[in-house]
């Protein structure tokens, strides 16, 4: 049985990896993993696989531990055949479109992540706390919109 990986990928600096080829490798190998476009493994996919205009990528492969190589960075992803939905990667991007003084982010990492806050594309500081190992709260002095990058 194959496992599904689907996610929106971003470059290490934070921008979407739009129309970008990303290589998928088994951990500890420099050989490209066998990828498929379907759960039955009847239609092979290219590797590197190319993201769409929004940075979205999706493929099926054998369960195991993999690395996605994007712009020289390696993002580790565990794939389990019982998971048929989004796999939580090492980067969680929170887009806060509506200005708010408190951003509550449910990231499902299972650890307290490192948090980078971007307001109008610029890195900024603010109060960060963790309700638990799956929920991070960012508090501002005034309603603010922007982006938060959470990394394991």
Rounded CA-CA distance 14/22 in Å is 16
32 in Cβ contact with 24 (< 8 Å) = yes
> Would you list the domain boundaries of the chain?
3-79, 91-151
Higher pLDDT, 14 or 126: 126
- pLDDT of 94 reads 87
Would you call 84 helix, strand, or coil by DSSP? coil
- pLDDT of 15 reads 82
Q: Which residues, including other chains, have CB under 8 Å from residue 92's CB and lie 6 or more apart?
A: 105, 107, 108, 109, 113, 149, 150, 151
Q: What percent of the chain has pLDDT over 70?
A: 92
pLDDT in tens, 95-145: 899 999 999 998 767 788 889 999 998 989 999 999 998 899 999 999 999
Q: In the predicted model, what is the mean pLDDT of the chain? A: 86
Q: Could you give the C-alpha distances from 111 to 4, 115, 120, 151, in angstroms and in order?
A: 23, 12, 27, 10
- pLDDT of 86 reads 42
Higher pLDDT, 13 or 62: 62
Would the pLDDT of 88 be above 70?
no
Fold classified for 3-79:
Immunoglobulin-like (2.60.40)
């Amino acid at each position: 049985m194959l496992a599904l990986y689907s996610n929106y990928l971003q470059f290490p600096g934070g921008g979407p990896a739009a129309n970008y080829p990303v290589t998928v490798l088994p951990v500890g190998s420099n050989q490209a993993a066998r990828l498929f476009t379907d759960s039955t493994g009847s239609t092979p996919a290219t590797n590197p696989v190319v993201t769409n205009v929004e940075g979205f990528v999706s493929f099926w492969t054998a369960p195991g531990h993999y690395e996605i190589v994007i712009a020289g960075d390696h993002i580790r992803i565990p794939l389990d055949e019982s998971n048929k939905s989004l796999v939580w990667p090492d980067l969680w991007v929170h887009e806060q479109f509506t200005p708010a003084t408190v951003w509550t982010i449910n990231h499902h990492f299972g650890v307290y992540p490192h948090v980078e806050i971007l307001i109008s594309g610029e890195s900024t500081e603010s109060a960060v706390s963790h309700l638990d190992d799956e929920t991070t709260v960012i508090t501002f002095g005034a309603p603010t919109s922007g982006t938060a990058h959470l990394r394991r």
